[in-house]
Amino acid sequence: MDILVLNCGSSSVKYQLYRWDQKEVLAKGIVERVTIGGSSINHYAKGKGRIKKEHECPTHREAIALITETLLDPEVGAIKDLSEIKAVGHRMVHGGEKFAKSVIIDDEALNTFKELADLAPLHNPPNIMGVEAAKEVLPDVPHCAIMDTAWHQTMPERAYIYALPYEWYEKYRVRRYGFHGTSFLYVAKRTAVLLGKDPFDTNLVLLHIGNGVSANAVRNGISVDTSMGLTPLEGLVMGTRAGDHDAAIGFYIMRKESLEPETVEKILNKKSGVLGISGKYTDRRDITEAAAKGDKRSQLAIEIESYRLKKYIGAYYAAVGKIDAITFTAGVGEMSDIIRAKALEGLEPLGIVMDPEKNKLSHTRNAETDITGKGSKVKIFVVPTDEELVMTEDTYALLQGTYDIHTNFTYSFQSRDYVNKERAEALEEELKKNPGLKDIVARIP
């Protein structure tokens, strides 16, 4: 059985095709610059390598058509006929309180997602467009929705209710929802494996650091708090999002600059974060390079982002109590030793000690690494996330009628014997160039 998963952003579509019986990735890639011109597909197929092809995609419909055409291409594709795809899993950023777990998308569910669109105006509309476009291309197979918000539905009221008029919650469901749930689910389960513990006997602080950034407090294996809120704007400093700031600033700037609310909302989401501080960059690699050359605002961007991370680690340590591990994930979390080091700097009195040399070695998306320092009471891991695998397993289980919320469901990657074949093969090649990496690969007890 082949399962296709799609992650539709406002101007991109990520995809992965997974052969369930062999437990391997057949193909994956991304279509970039959808709707904005200059579109292209970056595609990988097992045994056929990688390609990049220019192709205009004025809407998500053309992007998904391009993906299916590429998957069928005799030279670079992975299947001979679309009938080999038996189901499609879709990332849905916001499920509100309506969805506490993944679901098969019927007309009622799709209409509910449309009703929830104003809770995630930057994310749910393209997610919905992707579902509708995929249903046109693949009308005869089940389509499933995997919610970013579902993981956080275990938060207690004290964590998700804001100190605002309570009727706003009653009338409009204004509350903290949290995001990156699919990533946090994967990383929480894998961290439990690395600790050699039952997942529901683990206390963790998880840090998903990419262009979007959020922290997650996990007590006894379930989410009890998270940094993003009603929308993905709240919390940590991000690529272009402001994160935590005085809510009055928006009103102040509206008056000073005579701006409309929609304009300020766009600035807070698209022109703030490390971009707003540096004035130039969103990619942390560019910021790190500029900072090394003496660019003061890039240096400041790194300091501010890391300081905010450190504050959340401390806050969630207090919220959870004794913690077993801190785990970094996503692009920046997996690859930036500088951000990790600065985020953990000075936390030794809490029993959190990082090994600087191990941290510097940890730049891989092909292995889980242990960067814990000597004498640390808290383990420190770097775990490459795998949201696509969670989406695939949820989709398969929905088709089989075996799916349930994660507290009643066991994923394949919870096994201590689980191996990601693609990453294992890539790691072998990586070790030839960087043999020292072998010393920090996390050992499973």
Q: Which among 86, 183, 18, 111 has a CA at the least distance from the CA of 398?
A: 86
Answer yes or no: are the C-beta atoms of 162 and 195 closer than 8 Å: no
Burial grade of 236 (CB within 10 A; 0-12, 13-18, 19 or more)? buried
Distance CA 339, CA 59 (A): 36
198-210 CB burial, b ≥16 within 10 A, e <16: ebeebbbbbbbbb
What is the side-by-side order of every strand in the sheet holding 12-19?
49-54, 40-45, 24-32, 12-19, 2-8, 85-92, 143-147, 103-104
CA-closest candidate to residue 300, choices 320, 280, 318, 319: 280
Contact 307, 359 (CB under 8 A): no
107 an active-site residue? no
Q: Which residues contact 244 (CB under 8 A, 6 or more apart)?
A: 234, 235, 236, 308
Q: Rg (Cα) of the chain, in Å, rounded?
A: 21
Instruction: Find the catalytic residue in 2, 21, 148, 439.
Output: 148
The SS3 of residue 141 is: coil
Query: Which residues fall within 8 angstroms of residue 303, CB to CB, at 6 or more apart?
Result: 342
The answer to whether 182 and 391 are in contact (CB under 8 A) is yes
Rounded distance, CA 87 to CA 107, Å? 17
Q: CB of 173 within 8 A of CB of 204? A: no
Determine how many CB atoms are found less than 10 A away from the CB of residue 22. 11
The encoded tokens of residue 166 equal 């309570």
Q: Which residues are catalytic?
A: 148
